[in-house]
């Protein structure tokens, strides 16, 4: 729930920071994505290690870019869509503490019957 709230706030922040319309907004978001990916590559090990915050930023930025610009990402578009689906799934997943349905009868009631 907290991660989805952060994701939503980040999307709104990106919209506020890029008040341009159409191509200008896409260009600004694309530059933001490229700069962030450079930071990720600078802390690179053999393979770029994307943290949860990196994934949230890239997923939020991908929603603001047209699909034609997705080639600028380090990861494939399928990976971006998978991350987005995971964010949505986490938001709508409820904890399963108890079993659904009617509770089992108590021992005394079973003996009485």
Domain assignment present for residue 56? The answer is yes
Domain assignment present for residue 18? The answer is yes
- Given a cut of 70, whether residue 27 has pLDDT beyond it is yes
- What is the C-alpha to C-alpha distance for residues 44 and 57, in angstroms, rounded to an integer? 18
Residue 4: phi and psi, rounded to 5, are -70, -35
Contact 29, 61 (CB under 8 A): yes
Q: What is the pLDDT of residues 55-102, one digit of tens each?
A: 888 878 777 777 777 777 777 778 878 887 887 777 666 666 666 678
pTM: 0.43
- DSSP annotation of 93 reads P
Provide the pLDDT for residue 18.
61
Domain assignment present for residue 99? The answer is no
- State the chain's maximal CA–CA distance in angstroms: 76
Cite the DSSP H helix spans in the chain: 2-17, 23-42, 52-64, 77-91, 107-112
Domain count, the chain: 1
Which residue range is the domain that position 38 belongs to?
2-91
């Amino acid at each position: 729930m907290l991660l989805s709230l952060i994701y939503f706030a980040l999307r709104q922040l990106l919209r506020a920071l890029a008040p341009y319309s159409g191509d200008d907004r896409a260009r600004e978001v694309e530059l933001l994505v490229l700069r962030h990916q450079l930071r990720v590559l600078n802390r690179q090990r053999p393979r770029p290690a994307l943290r949860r915050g990196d994934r949230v930023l890239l997923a939020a930025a991908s929603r603001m870019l047209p699909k034609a610009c997705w080639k600028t990402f380090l990861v494939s578009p399928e990976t971006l869509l998978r991350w987005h689906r995971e964010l949505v799934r986490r938001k709508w997943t409820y904890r399963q503490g108890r079993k659904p349905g009617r509770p089992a009868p108590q021992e005394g009631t079973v003996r009485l019957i």
